[in-house]
Amino acid sequence: MKNKKRETIGKLSRDLLLKEDPITPTPTEQMREHLTNYEENIHICLKKHKKIFSDNFYIIVLTKKEKLMPNVIRNYFYGRKSCPTPDYDQIVYEYNQKDDNLVLLWVIPDRKTCKDFIYHSHYLDPSLKELFSYVTQFKDGSLFKKAQYLNGE
């Protein structure tokens, strides 16, 4: 049985952009697609870095839009020994080796979303309270101070 050749993401992206009547996905559909395999990738990254580091470490998830394919968004997962500087499009977890525990430190959305959250803070849905808290801590420098503290600076 022959393997069917899969189309590249670039071709799929281009085909979607060239459609005369493109279907705009709903925010819920975008989120569902964005989170596809998210947990699995976190566990893969965690397992890999448990073998590399003998002490606590950080898992970072960077979200990037492809420059040449504006309708393609990817998550990049990696681990590191030091806590990263907070930045846009970033999720950071701390892994405690002793307790075998992964803790979410912060989620910072893209620049536009952060600005919208600050500008429209009194209209935000209550379900966004925690995310709004991360955005305000990022804006006021609290997350930067937290990263410095975690790095012993």
Tens digits of per-residue pLDDT, 83-128? 999 999 999 999 999 999 999 999 998 888 889 888 887 877 888 8
- The predicted structure's pLDDT at residue 73: 75
Q: Residue 145 is part of which domain span?
A: 24-150
HSE, side-chain direction, 13 A CA sphere, residue 12: 6
- The predicted structure's pLDDT at residue 17: 54
Domain assignment of residue 123, yes or no? yes
- The predicted structure's pLDDT at residue 36: 66
Residue with tokens 């907070």: 86
- The predicted structure's pLDDT at residue 21: 53
Angle, in degrees to the nearest 10, between helices 111-119 and 129-139: 100
Domain assignment of residue 4, yes or no? no
Domain assignment of residue 12, yes or no? no
Q: Could you give the number of structural domains in the chain? A: 1
- The predicted structure's pLDDT at residue 33: 59
Domain assignment of residue 15, yes or no? no
- Kindly give, in sequence order, each residue whose CB lies less than 8 Å from that of residue 82, ignoring residues fewer than 6 positions away: 58, 151
